[in-house]
Chains A and B, each alone.
Chain A
């Protein structure tokens, strides 16, 4: 980053911030909030090893308790457990002692490891989003971790844990400031903490929505059928199939109700913020210029009630697909909402686009040979800013792609389609939930659409006030090379 706005205040050498009440008090005053910023080599919260390693202790204890021979000899068990505890604490303490982080002019630097030293430097302009997360145990101790999403990086690559909650929030503010460059600190603070929620999703609706979602309904129906057949016909083999089905019912409910508990959407200076979770509070910021595409999902029964879900593609977030199951859906903008809410949310993300006003082109009628029912719901539409495609009759999926975020355009045709004179047009976005395909279009129309979309993408790239092509890229064609320019302030201003 070019201009660190926060004045460096290295004059106040603080001890590694101990969890003392005085620290929390200082947090309120602006001076203390900046003292956190510039120090050379800060340690993390001293309770970190314990919070990180609690699972290890529990596992050790359970293993001890379960071991027959050890249980009969409590003394050995006790000594063993003690050794494990002491060893664990020692290792944890060592790793804590050697882990230091600091903010340099243009990057955050983390040194860690006592046998193998490791230094990780994350440049501010490569940071896509910064979240404060509180896993359950950490929350018990009032601690939080900082998650920085770096395009192309794994889930754990940008994790820094743990801080006291106040420190984490402050550091996040500072980093956002550095990553964005221009915002004034006071404004930032104000916008962070006191943004009134745009909407809160009540738990009842979450539960209802999950119960009425297609997968849960299907699983539940299958389960009931299974139980009935088992009871009536004594067809016992079926019971084994019940387990995955039961999982199919319970797991989504758990995930929705616990994971999205108290889903709150608010608007801050640096984009929309979401906050959700019962045990593990997750916060996520959606910078407006970083949205790659949207997906609106409406399962069959939801449509009758007028509910839908909105997911987002964000650069960097979906990149952690490989190693986490939680993260791979990109970002949820709205787990379930009424039509008016969806419209309001869309308006914030895509100002100047009215979905209802876009003329949708239906697929030709002969598609019914390929999709007997679904053909009625295949359509696409275009306006000056986005391309919209819909499909699916059980669960309707509406994908929205911004023209200037289009990665590539593909035209596809299989043998049956050629017989019928049809072709598919794919509009690719970076990986994430959005999947914009204009399925089964008339060939001529498809060819036109490919050309037109390529033109539109080119036009949009040129006209949208862009970050200068090559400016802050020291190593040009790297996987996250171009994402750095997305993190620059110029892009942010263009998104408004």
Chain B
């Protein structure tokens, strides 16, 4: 099955493990806040037993999310072929995007405060159609810069009119 979304004739680069850490942190913050709110509200209104149950539930969800996020992080990968960029991701809903460099209109490199704290950046390749979803999260900033420069160089060298 894996071959389908990751043809083996190219070398695939995985994304940073920190991506999973970052997402776990995000989910953890949200679930933690929910758990505390649940504990306090249920504890004061219904009974502390239910409040504790809410916390346990939140912990279970967090555990599940932990696993899912790990799997999802491992599914993200990209490859640079001679003429195309390949991005593959997803576990339940899988997707493989093949974008010719010459179709590139512009490249975005973005990094939010948390992403920066984890030493990551996101590179997104835009073509003339919004349907093209060539986004690579969780790149090391150096790798992101390298990819950006390489993509724009290749994009210009192979540029093709609409």
Q: A residues near B, CB below 8 A?
A: 151, 290, 292, 315-316, 404-415, 418, 423, 426, 428-431, 443-444, 446-447, 450-451, 454, 457-458, 461, 466-467, 469-470, 473, 476-479, 481-488, 491
Contacts and interface: CB of A to CB of B under 8 A. Distances in A.
B5 A482 contact: no
Given A407-B129, A411-B4, A481-B159, A461 B102 contact: yes
B157 A469 contact: yes
B80 to A, nearest CB: 14
B133 A410 contact: yes
Interface in B145-162: 152, 155-162
Contacts of A470: 156-157, 159
Contact of A478 (B7, B84, B93, B106): B106
Interface string B10-31: 0000000000000000000000
Interface in B109-138: 126-134
B106 A482 contact: no
Nearest to A289: B161
Given A451-B7, A476-B159, A486-B162, A415 B127 contact: no
Nearest to A424: B95
Contacts of B46: none
A450 to B, nearest CB: 6
11 contacts: A408-B99, A413-B95, A447-B3, A450-B98, A454-B98, A476-B159, A477-B155, A479-B126, A482-B159, A482-B161, A483-B162
B107 interface: yes
A418 B93 CA distance: 9
A406 B3 CA distance: 24
Contact of A414 (B83, B93, B132, B160): B93
Contact of A407 (B3, B96, B103, B106): B103
The 7 closest A-B pairs by CB, nearest first: A486-B161, A485-B161, A315-B162, A430-B128, A411-B96, A408-B132, A408-B99
Contacts of B3: 447
B107 A469 contact: no
Given A428-B129, A447-B4, A482-B162, 12 more contacts: A404-B160, A411-B96, A413-B4, A413-B94, A418-B94, A426-B131, A431-B128, A476-B156, A477-B105, A477-B152, A479-B105, A485-B160
B36 to A, nearest CB: 33
A405 B104 contact: no
Interface residues of B, number: 40
Nearest to A473: B159
Contacts, number: 145
A292 B107 CA distance: 22
A410 B97 contact: yes
Contacts of A482: 105, 128, 159-162
A457 B21 CA distance: 38
A410 B106 contact: no
A405 B131 CA distance: 14
B70 interface: no
Contact of A151 (B4, B106, B126, B162): B162
A151 B129 CA distance: 12
Contacts of B94: 411-413, 418
Nearest to B105: A479
B97 A469 contact: no
A483 B1 contact: no
Nearest to B92: A415
Nearest to B134: A408
Contacts of B5: 411, 413
Max count, chain B CB within 10 A of own CB: residue among A407, A479, A486, A491: A407
A486 B162 CA distance: 6
A407 B127 contact: yes
B107 to A, nearest CB: 7
Contacts of B152: 476-477
B105 to A, nearest CB: 5
Given A415-B92, A466-B160, A491-B161, A477 B98 contact: no
B32 interface: no
